[in-house]
Structure 1
Amino acid sequence: MFKLPEWLLRADRRIQELNLFRRIFIMMFPLMIAAIGVFEITIRWFDIHAIEYAHIWIILIPLIFSIIISYLSARFTAKEVAHPIKLFIESAKAIARGNFDHKVNVHTSEEMTQLSRIFNYMTRELKEINQGNIRKTIQEKIKTEAIIRNIADGIIVVGPLNEVLMINEVVEGWFHVQQKAVIGFSLNFFFPELKFLVKQALDTQGETVFQDELTIKPLNSPSEIYLGANASKVMDNDDLIALVIVLRNITKEKEIDRMKTELVNVVAHELRSPLTSIAGFSEIIKDPHLSEAIRKEYIDIIHYESGRLAEMISKFLDISRIESGKTVINKVPCDLTTVVDNTITANTPMAQKRSMHVSSTLPKWVPLVHADPDLIGQVVLNFFSNAVKYSPEGSEIKLRVAVADDTVIVEVSDNGYGISKENMKHLFQKFFRAKDEKHVKDVEGTGLGLAFVKEIIHQHNGTIHVESEVGKGSSFSFALPIDFTLPENAALKPAS
């Protein structure tokens, strides 16, 4: 609160003293006149001599004059000094109440006029300072609100009575509400998922941070998201001002936890099988009575399981390296027809073992792309091997290379078991395997192949497309952009 200067307070007290003196004189003046009259009657009554009478008046007259002069001086002081100071005091009080447009107009003397000018100048300066502070406060408020509304985390501010004071844009999107619609209403009405967290925070003493997790389904998200909620109290001494709830999207962390769990399961299941075979048959071949033919058969099994184990470990390492950017991608002018032809030629025996028919539609010439032939070959092999594994014996696998718009497309299709719509959502997630379908639950795999494919195509600025229907088969394709900077593709360069 604004406090008046000490000199103004002292002046105010002096004014009050002068006014008191003036009121006392006004009250005493009639008594003085009456006393003089009584004195005159007494002199006449007792027949005091003229000389003595004159002496008495010589004493009374100066006394009366001094009293009159004091009274006039007090009135003059009150008018010329005290009244202006009183105006200054009233003006100071008005300014203290925030009225910075108040002015003092005192012209009783040159000094008072100068003082009033200085006082008014001070008032103008205070007004400018006050307006500057208000502008600064408003700017800081706007800045703070802008930061809160655009922060990546969700923010909800709740009052002591559980009423919503503010939310940011992230919360608006997650919960399908608008700030103007929820302000002042109970948190439980619009955010029932948080009522237990808030109740726990409000019912507990101190400034402890409370945590919780919840699951919501935003309109703009294809699936549910996980939120971590932290509630912190804002206290003023022992009074609760507000409760700030910070919501953070922890879906990725949850997904990482899921992947870690699945990795452990995959490692435990997939690696245990070949290791068990290796350990078992290694123990058996120690038997000196074992025939050479059986010993050779068991050694072949150990060799096969060792290769399968090495392949799994290699896939783990490959996807880890490419995701971390440690894989060296040697992009060169690449003919995808040649890559597909070489890959299928080398792996057709895989399909022949299951009596499958493999056909391909490969044009004599396609535009070149800028790619790593070895990595793209692994993509083609993954699509092809999946078609072999997830199709019944005797089925057909088709391969096609074509040009569409500014890309070259490679497609591998089959008439196998197909993929359900639910499993399609998770198809490219690491360690995901569609074990819930009866035809594929016993198919061996790590669940890393398609995740590896997705990362390779992403590194080549390409796209992947999948079509599938349960019982009718699947079609996997990828498209890579044509490199128009190569001389071989110059004639194909689109007009600018």
Structure 2
Amino acid sequence: MFNSIKYRFITIYFLLVLVCISIVGAFIVNRLEFQQIQNITDNMSQSLTSITNTSHYMSSSDWKEQSFQFENTFESWQLPSGEVIYAIDASEPPVIIASSNRNKNIHGQNALSFKATDPSLVLKGLSGEEANATISNEDSDKREKHIVKPIFTSEGNVNGILYMTSQLSPVYQIIDYAKVILGYATALALLVTIILGYILANSITEPIRDLTSKASKMAKGDFSQKFEVKSDDEIGQLGSMFNYLTEELNTTINQMNLEKSKLNTIFNYMAEGVIAVDRQGFLIHANPIARQILILGDNYLYKKIDLTELNISNINYYDDSTLEGENKIEIDDNFYKVKYAPYKREDNANLGLIVVLQDITNEHKLDMMRKEFVANVSHELKTPITTIKSYSETLLESSLEEEEVNHFISIINRENNRMERIVADLLQLSNIDYGNSNWHIEEIDTYSAIGETLESLSLLIDEKNLSIKLDIPMDIKDIFADKHALNQILMNIISNAVKYSNADGKINISATSNHFNVNIKVQDNGIGIPEEDLNRIFERFYRVEKSRSRSMGGTGLGLSIAKELIDAMGGDIKIQSQLKEGTTVTLTFKAA
């Protein structure tokens, strides 16, 4: 029960009131007793003084001879019940000569051994000193007030003493009654104290219990709790602070949940794989990309992973220099850049590693293509340069006939033109890559564009005795494109069809249009393209049959240029081919 602050509060309140009432009651009883006894003492002293002042014989006569007068004087005063006066002379030993109760049996008794008198007070009175004392009767357990007053002769000697006693029973009856009243008052006050203490304690503990209940719900995750503030005291201030704490905590939790949601979204949808491992190498987090790369499955948590498989070794969690780095690995023909760093506790202690897997397969392929591109460019330029160098050295070092000189110069000019075409194509590709092409988009007649291209290739077509079939409707829509780019695209595609068609072969060129596009299809029955080369056909300097392509004067950049140009103008190019059966190229342009 005393574990409750309410009952402890009531107990303390009860004890406090009890102690206070006890102290006040003791003080009141003590003062009442003192005051009552003091009043009796004063009355006794006044009575003795009055008797002395009105009885002059007491100081001038022999007391033993005046005992009858003493008794008459005492009787005339009619002392209250319970008060007795004794006249004791100053003889040796002092004897009682008279008393107010007219008891003749006590006359002549020694005052020092008389039960009703106190020897010490008698001696003080005989010595000329007024004195008083409260005397307890050992036999009857009653208390009396004794007072002694010396009577002096005219010469200043003690003639005798008046010894007066008074019963204190009425005083202690009043005191006992006062104690009873105080007892009842104390009991009533304590009862009221318990009731008021219970009400007061409830007014304090009820809000505390309410706060405790709401705090318990908050601990379980319900942050919508509100405390009703009913006062401006400490409890009210505590409630206000609780409400403020709830709002701040709710805001903080919402912000944390929002940040957590953001982080989860980032981790789940980022292109890189991210894993987190503890110091023992157990997985504690992996985003979907990482699970896909490492084939972890759904039950990946706390699965032990071998970091050496990620090319991470020599890990020492007490040496930060071993916990950061990057490397490259290959997994299932894919290449990844692995970066790792530690995550720490608040005291800066290393708890584990964060590992990021960045897919660099495309970059790796691009790097390989770049190296191959450089090798191809070098090879393409090396052949004409070598030819030009050898023929020019021959011209410089040998005496040749004019006919031979002209032949050598024509070869040098041909190889120079070849290098010029390669450089021009490379510059054009570079301009397309960097967006430096100045397009002039206009409406171009589809039939005229195809006809001009065929006219430019007429000599080569006639040389190979090719059959050209056109299937172009009269209402074909115009092409919306740059004229120079369109001519170059058509020239590259149709010239390839002419170059790689066998003698006496056939080339079909058809065109269709709709509201959005113009489609041109170029179909030949030439040598075709192997299936394994189709996915690389648009790479720069890529050749299916390198020796034959080079002998036909190609640079290996025609399809790359056509692809870049048509893509830049919002069109598309598709190639279908079968080896030794022919190739079909479909060009899609925007319709005017």
Tell me if both proteins adopt one fold, taking TM over 0.5 as the criterion. Answer: yes
| Pairing 1:481–2:590 present | yes
Q: Could you tell me whether the CA contact under 8 Å between 1:371 and 1:460 is conserved in 2? A: yes
- For residue 466 of structure 1, report the CA deviation from its aligned partner: 1.2
How do 1:430-441 residues align onto structure 2 when only pairs under 5 Å count? 430-435=540-545
Q: Which has the higher helix share?
A: 1
Structure 2 distance, partners of 1:459, 1:105, is 70
Residues 87 and 386 of structure 1, relative CA distance in 2, 3 Å threshold? same
- For residue 273 of structure 1, report the CA deviation from its aligned partner: 0.8
Deviation per residue, 1:231-280 (Å, 9 max, x gap): 22211135444432223332342233123212220122110111111111
Residues 91 and 270 of structure 1, relative CA distance in 2, 3 Å threshold? same
- For residue 313 of structure 1, report the CA deviation from its aligned partner: 0.3
Aligned partner of 1:145 in structure 2 is: 264
Pick one of 309, 331, 343 that aligns with 1:196. 309
Residues 288 and 430 of structure 1, relative CA distance in 2, 3 Å threshold? closer
Which sections of structure 1, spanning at least 5 residues, go unmatched? Answer: 1-14, 26-42, 55-68, 218-223, 484-496
Identity %: 21
How do 1:117-196 residues align onto structure 2 when only pairs under 5 Å count? 117-160=236-279, 161-168=281-288, 170-171=289-290, 181-186=298-303, 188=305, 196=309
Pick one of 111, 115, 128 that aligns with 2:234. 115
Matched residue of 2:536: which SS? coil
- For residue 198 of structure 1, report the CA deviation from its aligned partner: 7.6
Structure 2 distance, partners of 1:102, 1:265, is 75
Q: Could you tell me whether the CA contact under 8 Å between 1:198 and 1:231 is conserved in 2? A: no
Larger radius of gyration between Structure 1 and Structure 2: 2
Residues 233 and 455 of structure 1, relative CA distance in 2, 3 Å threshold? same
Structure 1 distance, partners of 2:302, 2:550, is 52
Pick one of 360, 372, 375 that aligns with 1:265. 375
Aligned partner of 1:292 in structure 2 is: 402
- For residue 158 of structure 1, report the CA deviation from its aligned partner: 3.3
Residues 287 and 117 of structure 1, relative CA distance in 2, 3 Å threshold? closer
Matched residue of 1:200: which SS? coil
Deviation per residue, 1:88-147 (Å, 9 max, x gap): 9987996998666799999xxxx9x94333333433333333333222222222222223
Q: Could you tell me whether the CA contact under 8 Å between 2:226 and 2:243 is conserved in 1? A: no
| Pairing 1:420–2:537 present | no
Q: Could you tell me whether the CA contact under 8 Å between 1:415 and 1:474 is conserved in 2? A: yes
| Pairing 1:375–2:490 present | no
- For residue 156 of structure 1, report the CA deviation from its aligned partner: 2.8
- For residue 428 of structure 1, report the CA deviation from its aligned partner: 1.3
Pick one of 558, 565, 570 that aligns with 1:461. 570
Deviation per residue, 1:441-468 (Å, 9 max, x gap): 9766443221111111112322212111
Pick one of 432, 443, 456 that aligns with 1:322. 432
Aligned partner of 1:5 in structure 2 is: none
Q: Could you tell me whether the CA contact under 8 Å between 2:377 and 2:541 is conserved in 1? A: no
Residues 187 and 414 of structure 1, relative CA distance in 2, 3 Å threshold? farther
Pick one of 463, 469, 479 that aligns with 1:360. 469
Which residue identity is paired with 1:186?
K
Which residue identity is paired with 1:129?
E
Q: Could you tell me whether the CA contact under 8 Å between 2:477 and 2:513 is conserved in 1? A: no
Structure 2 distance, partners of 1:482, 1:419, is 30
Q: Could you tell me whether the CA contact under 8 Å between 1:163 and 1:183 is conserved in 2? A: yes
Name the TM-score, length of structure 2 as normaliser.
0.59
Q: Could you tell me whether the CA contact under 8 Å between 2:467 and 2:507 is conserved in 1? A: yes
Aligned partner of 1:471 in structure 2 is: 580
Matched residue of 2:336: which SS? strand
Matched residue of 1:186: which SS? coil
Structure 1 distance, partners of 2:144, 2:409, is 162
Q: Could you tell me whether the CA contact under 8 Å between 2:530 and 2:578 is conserved in 1? A: yes
Which residue identity is paired with 2:301?
G
Structure 1 distance, partners of 2:331, 2:513, is 40
Q: Could you tell me whether the CA contact under 8 Å between 1:270 and 1:446 is conserved in 2? A: yes
Residues 104 and 249 of structure 1, relative CA distance in 2, 3 Å threshold? closer
Pick one of 423, 429, 432 that aligns with 2:539. 429
Structure 2 distance, partners of 1:459, 1:330, is 13
- For residue 318 of structure 1, report the CA deviation from its aligned partner: 0.8
| Pairing 1:232–2:336 present | no
Deviation per residue, 1:377-436 (Å, 9 max, x gap): 2122212332344345x251414132154443333333232212221111112332235x
Q: Could you tell me whether the CA contact under 8 Å between 1:201 and 1:210 is conserved in 2? A: no
Residues 172 and 464 of structure 1, relative CA distance in 2, 3 Å threshold? farther
- For residue 297 of structure 1, report the CA deviation from its aligned partner: 0.6
Structure 1 distance, partners of 2:542, 2:258, is 51
Structure 2 distance, partners of 1:267, 1:373, is 28
Q: CA RMSD in A?
A: 5.1
Which residue identity is paired with 1:153?
E
Pick one of 485, 502, 509 that aligns with 1:400. 509
Which residue identity is paired with 2:313?
Q
Q: Could you tell me whether the CA contact under 8 Å between 2:207 and 2:235 is conserved in 1? A: no
Aligned partner of 1:33 in structure 2 is: none
Deviation per residue, 1:179-211 (Å, 9 max, x gap): xx14414264xxx8x653385375554264332
Matched residue of 1:285: which SS? helix
Matched residue of 1:480: which SS? strand
Q: Could you tell me whether the CA contact under 8 Å between 1:419 and 1:469 is conserved in 2? A: yes
